[in-house]
């Protein structure tokens, strides 16, 4: 049943998109309606599929379908590309977020899209298929296909319905991401080929879990593979020196495009790092973690400084994504459990609050046809409802305690601080300055737009297409679900992190932790040649501080009961388990 | 190897094409009916040939007179005839009435040559078949064209083609000299034996022979450094003919190169040949893509992109392996698949282009395509699909082609020793980066088609048959997007056939003394 629902979730938008495209011209007004209803159905399905995530066994998938798609070969060797989809605790929340944002972005397009309407909604629905598919895919090549497929609809959404520089923006977006992802593709191919060789079977497959448990790659190979995967994912994130396509694409895209780009598509990059880079090439990830951390911090600060000088509200929000995803990556490359779950939480929170900010900016733009902070100001008096929502989302984006941004920002910084094996306090401290800068630029923008003397361009607000001075019912209905989520996730983030922990523990952490240990041993040996005592001190310090933080953040799930530790020790004969257990036990002690 | 007699039944499809060619020519000269029958007759001929090839196929491994039948020749036959149908449809009404007979006769002859290339098992047949493929194309380029540019293109194409044929024949004479036999399997055994003894005279001669022969074949697939004719010829030729040039000579060249490269076999992984092909592959990809990026004429752009695609195919040739473990280790399967897909996509783009008119003249510049989506959505989407296939965007069949080619190269790289492993892997990385360059210029056309608006979009003047041809191209591309299995498996068994044959020979080589002293029995 769930399998049917998941496949429906992937393919119904595709079918609806084709249907919308094929509508005859006289029925054009039906297009938005069909798209909205499909979007609502997507939302319902996505949330239905997210619910079973509680208590899900990490080995099981929600709505798993596993069919052979392209199987070529004979008994000596073959290539298998499978249509294997299913959701787990990492992907289900992201699919739920997708489901939530799709109807909202359809609904926000009603007043602004006036040309080539059928095409617009068709591309939007095709994009939905791509986004759901990419998270649901369990076959790496299937993932890659959906990953690339998302480029096409967004390219057209930006290029046809965007702002004045839309074509340049769309081309830059497409070519930048395509150039990165073909390198990722080469990396995936190499990984699969090597996996077949290592297993000695001659069967080349792209199964996610099997590739995630691959052993036997040399350190150099892992390092290069990490770089290959990095090329595609980092551009998508966008990671600091590779972010230059993003502000342009965001600014030029129509509101719905920006919302989905910021809310979902940027997450493909971070999801890729979490899902592929970390478990598949853990040694590579560890050896590059320092660089990744440094770049993440650079991105946080650089993005924030860029925001500070923007006069264009939308560009400001766009640059804030660079800064925010720097946080997300910083948490991930702390390589601590708390950092990983914080980073996933960050993805969701960023999707919600930045998506919401783009929606607000879009609603302003519909009325004033400008996003220039010098031309609009003091709108709070005219538009109290918008002011309320904007302030709420700005505060959530800054990370006000009690709202969703806070908990994830705090955890990733703590993880960076505590992860002495790979990152360290310096990263945490420098990263934390991003919070301060974030507060500055966000509040500066809010102050400019909402408060002070009333400024509006002549002839505005433009109240065609059923708009009113303040938000109308449609717009309130768009923003309300996001506002509720901002508060819910702020108060009770465990709704995401609780199901996540067992999965991370089962699939990603063991390999990452082993790599971290191997790495720190090498470093310790190097240090040990100089001072043996230092090494001991460092070891105990890193073990303690890291795990104290872990215990502090998610007390329940991170503190294993004595029985668990005992069974761990008994059941597993490998050396790793016996070394993990004391660490875990140490974490439980305080 | 003593020449066996061949049963006529084995070469029925080729004979059918030949007879069809004559019939088309005669029918056109007699003018028996008021409506010209050339095109329908051609179609009928190809369909009959395809049916014969499918159902009356000769026994595997049978053959004689320097022909050999098996999965490889079947693959060439089936895909050649399949695309032949598309070619006929798309050039249905292209030639002027008076010249239709010649046009379709040349087309059928060229196709017949292609089919023989697939089956050729001795040097003489291979050379003749390649020339039977090429010579009609010199005529096709100039037929029914009234601008001087076409004449120039045809002349250029003819002289360069003749030169490359001479180079190839010269190279083959060296190979004959080394092995003392015209038959490919015998020659293969002797040449790979000679290649195993560096420093000796046979080794030097065999190397020269392979390099020269390969150079001649590179002309057919328009790889660097034999690419100079390509842009002018494509621009000068009518659009359907340009589509023809992208498939028939190229596919014939690829099949011939696969035969030749399998001769070097394991030697391809070491020594000069590897590095030579490596450089040619890289240059073809890069030069082709960069030059295509600079073009504003769609035909010239597609011509240069064809150079780049030849480079991708050569990456697959480098991945040939003696001991493949499944399809990904086997570059030949990937190359065969890629050549067919490239041919269909290229033809699809040209077929649509052929039906477009901008201000009364044939549409040639990228900018002329602006706003086509509004005027005729079907044509615009079809062309976009063809271009996305050429770009290699998943899940188009072009993507599967690139995936298998680069995958086999990587798989091959892991089996190679040190330096070659690194450099073959590097070639794959350079290859995917080239794909990204390629995306830039294909995207420019897709943007013109789908993004741009124009007050005066190009006019789509569909004629029935070309329209059906273009639609069929689109259908095949869609089909192979989701079900590439069939063609890939066919390619895999085709390549296996050839390799097995060679390995059997290598395992049991003719005594070397006999090669050196005795004149070959067949001469």
Mean pLDDT of B173-202: 83
Give the lowest-confidence range in A510-514, B254-258, B341-345. Answer: A510-514
Query: Å from B325 to nearest chain A CA?
Result: 5
- Residue A555: CB partners within 8 Å, gap ≥ 6? none
Distance separating the N- and C-terminal Cα atoms of chain A? 45
| Mean pLDDT across A225-253 | 90
User: A145 vs chain B: nearest CA distance in angstroms?
Assistant: 5
Cα separation, B461 vs B127, in Å, equals 41
Q: Give the Cα separation of B164 and A17 in Å (integer).
A: 51
Tokens found for residue B331 = 């570059």
Q: What is the mean pLDDT of residues B20-30?
A: 89
Local confidence band at A481 (pLDDT 50, 70, 90 cut-offs): very high
Residue A217, helix vs strand vs coil: coil
Give the pLDDT confidence of B64-121 residue by residue, as tens digits. Answer: 777 888 888 889 999 999 999 999 998 888 888 778 888 999 999 999 999 999 888 8
Grade residue B2 by pLDDT with cuts at 50, 70 and 90. Answer: very low
DSSP lists the bridge partners of residue A70 as A81
Q: For B422, name the nearest residue in chain A, comparing CA atoms only.
A: A221
Which candidate from A148, A186, A197 shows the least CB-CB separation from B432? Answer: A186
Q: What CA–CA distance (Å, rounded) separates A97 from A46?
A: 8
Q: What percent of chain B has pLDDT over 90?
A: 42
Q: At what angle do helices A219-236 and A282-308 cross, to 10 degrees?
A: 30
Cβ distance B326 to A78 less than 8 Å, yes or no, reads yes
B328 touches chain A (CB under 8 A): yes
Q: Does B197 touch chain A (CB under 8 A)?
A: no
Interface test with B, best of A193, A202, A225 (most B CBs within 10 A): A193
ipTM for the predicted complex comes to: 0.89
- Structure token digits, residue A239: 């990671």
Beta carbons of A257 and A106 less than 8 angstroms apart: no
Listed range (A167-176, A224-233, A507-516, B235-244) with the worst mean pLDDT: A507-516
Ramachandran quadrant class, A177 (left: phi over 0; alpha: psi -120 to 50; beta: rest): alpha
Between chain A and chain B, the number of residue pairs with CB atoms below 8 A apart is: 112
- Report pLDDT digits (tens) over B341-355: 999 999 999 999 988
Continuous H helices in B196-297: 201-220, 230-236, 239-264, 272-293
DSSP A433-449: HHHHHHHHHHHHHHHHH
Percent of chain A with pLDDT over 70: 89
Residue B46 has pLDDT above 90, yes or no: yes
A contacts of B328 (beta carbons < 8 Å)? 77, 79, 193, 196, 204
What is the residue-averaged pLDDT of chain A? 83
Question: How far from the centroid of its chain's Cα atoms is residue B30's Cα?
Answer: 34
In chain B, residues with a C-beta closer than 8 Å to the C-beta of A145 are: 394-395, 399
Average pLDDT, integer, range A288-302: 91
The torsion angles phi and psi of A63, rounded to 5 degrees, stand at: 60, 45
Q: Which residues pair with B413 in a beta bridge?
A: none
Average pLDDT over residues B469-479: 91
CB atoms B394 and A156 under 8 Å: no
With an 8 Å Cβ cutoff, are A79 and B404 in contact? yes
Provide the b/e sequence for B53-71 (b: ≥16 CB within 10 Å): beeebbeeebbbebbbbbb
Chain B residues in contact with A160 (beta carbon < 8 A): 450-451
Over residues A160-175, the mean pLDDT reads 89
Which 8-state DSSP code applies to residue A589? Answer: -
| pLDDT for res B59 | 66
The DSSP code sequence of A54-104 is TT--TT--EEEEEEEEEEEE-SS-EEEEEEEEEE-TTHHHHHHHHHHHHHH
Contact list in A for residue B428 (CB cut-off 8 A) is: 186, 189-190
Structure tokens at B279: 């450089």
For the residues of A143-178, what is the DSSP string, one character each?
HHHHHHHTHHHHHHHHHHHS-TTHHHHHHHHHHHHH
- Pick the residue of B293, B312, B395 with the most A CBs within 10 A to test the interface with A by mutation: B395
């Amino acid at each position: 049943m769930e399998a049917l629902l998941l496949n429906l979730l992937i393919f119904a938008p595709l079918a609806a998109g084709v249907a919308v495209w094929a509508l005859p011209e006289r029925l054009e007004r039906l297009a938005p309606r069909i798209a909205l209803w499909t979007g609502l159905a997507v939302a319902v399905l996505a949330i239905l599929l997210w619910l079973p995530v509680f208590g899900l066994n990490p080995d099981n998938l929600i709505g798993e379908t596993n069919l052979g798609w392209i199987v070529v070969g004979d008994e000596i060797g073959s290539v298998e590309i499978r249509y294997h989809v299913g959701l787990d605790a990492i992907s289900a929340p992201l699919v739920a977020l997708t489901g939530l944002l799709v109807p909202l972005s359809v609904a926000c397009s009603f007043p602004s899209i006036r040309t080539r309407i059928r095409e617009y909604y068709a591309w939007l629905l095709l994009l939905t298929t791509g986004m759901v598919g990419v998270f649901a895919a369990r076959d790496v090549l299937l993932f890659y296909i959906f990953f690339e497929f998302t480029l096409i609809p967004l390219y057209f959404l930006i290029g046809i319905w965007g702002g004045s520089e839309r074509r340049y923006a769309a081309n830059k977006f497409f070519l930048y991401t395509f150039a990165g992802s073909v390198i990722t593709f080469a990396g995936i191919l190499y990984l699969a080929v090597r996996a077949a060789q290592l297993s000695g079977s001659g069967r080349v497959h792209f199964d996610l879990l099997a590739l995630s448990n691959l052993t036997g790659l040399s350190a150099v190979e892992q390092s290069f593979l990490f770089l290959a995967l990095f090329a595609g994912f980092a551009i998508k994130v966008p990671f600091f020196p590779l972010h230059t396509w993003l502000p342009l694409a965001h600014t030029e895209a129509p509101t719905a495009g920006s919302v989905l780009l910021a809310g979902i598509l940027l997450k493909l990059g971070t999801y890729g790092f979490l899902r592929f880079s970390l478990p598949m090439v853990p040694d590579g990830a560890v050896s590059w973690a320092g660089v990744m951390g440094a770049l993440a911090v650079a991105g946080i600060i650089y993005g924030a400084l860029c925001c500070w000088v923007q006069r264009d509200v939308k560009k400001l929000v766009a640059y804030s994504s660079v800064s925010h995803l720097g946080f997300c990556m910083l948490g991930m490359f702390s390589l601590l459990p708390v950092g990983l779950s914080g980073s996933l939480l960050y993805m969701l929170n960023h999707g919600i609050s930045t998506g919401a900010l783009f929606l607000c900016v879009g609603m302003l733009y519909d009325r004033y046809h400008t996003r220039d902070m010098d031309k609009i100001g003091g709108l709070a008096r005219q538009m109290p409802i918008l002011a309320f929502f904007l302030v709420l989302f700005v505060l959530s984006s800054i990370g006000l305690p009690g709202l969703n941004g806070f908990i994830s920002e705090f955890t990733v910084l703590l993880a960076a601080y505590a992860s002495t094996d790979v990152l360290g306090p310096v990263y945490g401290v420098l990263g934390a300055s991003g919070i301060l800068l974030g507060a500055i630029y966000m509040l500066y923008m809010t102050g400019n737009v909402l408060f002070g003397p009333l400024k509006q361009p002549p002839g505005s607000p433009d109240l065609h297409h059923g708009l009113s001075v303040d938000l109308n019912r449609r717009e309130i209905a768009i923003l309300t679900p996001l506002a509720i989520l901002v508060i819910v996730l702020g108060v009770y983030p465990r709704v995401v992190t609780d199901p996540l922990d067992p999965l991370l523990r089962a699939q990603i952490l063991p390999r990452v932790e082993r790599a971290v240990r191997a790495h720190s041993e090498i470093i310790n040996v190097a240090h040990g040649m100089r001072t043996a005592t230092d090494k001991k001190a460092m070891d105990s310090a890193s073990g303690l501080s890291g795990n104290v933080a872990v215990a502090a953040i998610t007390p329940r799930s991170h503190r294993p009961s004595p029985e668990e530790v005992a069974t761990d020790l008994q059941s597993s004969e490998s050396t790793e388990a016996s070394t993990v257990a004391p660490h875990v036990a140490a974490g439980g002690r305080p | 190897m003593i020449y066996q007699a061949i049963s006529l039944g084995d070469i029925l499809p080729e004979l059918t094409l030949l007879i069809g060619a004559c019939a088309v020519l005669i029918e056109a000269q007699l003018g028996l009916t008021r409506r010209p029958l050339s095109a329908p007759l051609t179609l009928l001929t190809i369909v009959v040939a395809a049916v014969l090839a499918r159902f009356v196929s000769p026994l595997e491994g049978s053959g004689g007179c320097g022909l050999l039948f098996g999965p490889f020749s079947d693959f060439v036959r089936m895909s050649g005839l399949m695309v032949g149908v598309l070619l006929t449809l798309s050039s249905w009404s292209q030639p002027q009435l008076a010249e239709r007979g010649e046009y379709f006769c040349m087309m059928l002859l060229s196709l017949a040559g292609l089919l023989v290339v697939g089956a050729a098992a001795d040097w003489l047949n291979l050379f003749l078949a390649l020339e039977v493929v090429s010579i009609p194309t010199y005529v096709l380029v100039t037929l029914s064209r009234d601008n001087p540019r076409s004449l120039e293109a045809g002349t250029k194409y003819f002289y360069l083609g003749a030169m490359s044929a001479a180079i190839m024949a010269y190279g083959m004479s060296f190979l004959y000299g080394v092995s003392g036999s015209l038959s490919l399997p015998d020659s293969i055994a002797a040449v790979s034996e000679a290649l195993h003894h560096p420093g000796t005279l046979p080794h030097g001669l065999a190397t020269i022979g392979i390099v020269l022969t390969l150079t001649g074949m590179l002309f057919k697939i328009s790889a660097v450094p034999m690419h100079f004719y390509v842009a002018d010829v494509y621009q000068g030729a009518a659009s359907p003919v340009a589509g023809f040039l992208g498939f028939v000579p190229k596919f014939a060249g690829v099949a011939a190169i696969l035969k030749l490269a399998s001769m070097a076999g394991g030697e391809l992984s070491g020594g000069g040949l590897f590095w030579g092909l490596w450089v040619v592959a890289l240059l073809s990809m890069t030069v082709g893509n960069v030059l295509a990026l600079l073009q504003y004429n769609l035909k010239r752009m597609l011509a240069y992109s064809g150079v780049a695609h030849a480079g991708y195919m050569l990456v697959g040739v480098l991945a040939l392996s003696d001991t493949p473990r499944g399809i990904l280790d086997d570059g030949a399967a990937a190359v065969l698949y890629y050549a067919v897909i490239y041919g269909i996509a290229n033809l699809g783009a040209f077929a649509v282009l052929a039906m477009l008119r901008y201000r009364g003249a044939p549409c040639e510049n990228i900018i002329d395509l602006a706003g086509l989506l509004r005027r005729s959505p079907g044509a615009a989407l079809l062309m976009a699909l063809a271009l996305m296939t050429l770009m290699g965007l998943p899940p188009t069949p072009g993507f599967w082609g690139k995936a298998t080619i680069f995958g086999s190269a990587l798989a091959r790289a892991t089996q190679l020793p040190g330096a070659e492993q690194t450099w073959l892997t590097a070639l794959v990385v350079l290859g995917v980066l080239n794909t990204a360059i390629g995306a830039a210029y294909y995207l420019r056309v897709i943007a013109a088609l789908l993004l741009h608006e124009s007050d005066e979009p190009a006019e789509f003047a569909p004629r029935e048959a070309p329209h059906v041809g273009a639609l069929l191209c689109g259908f095949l591309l869609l089909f192979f997007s989701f079900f590439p299995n069939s063609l890939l498996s066919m390619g895999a068994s085709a390549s296996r056939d050839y390799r097995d044959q060679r390995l059997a020979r290598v395992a049991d080589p003719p005594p070397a003394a006999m090669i050196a002293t005795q004149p070959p029995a067949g001469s």
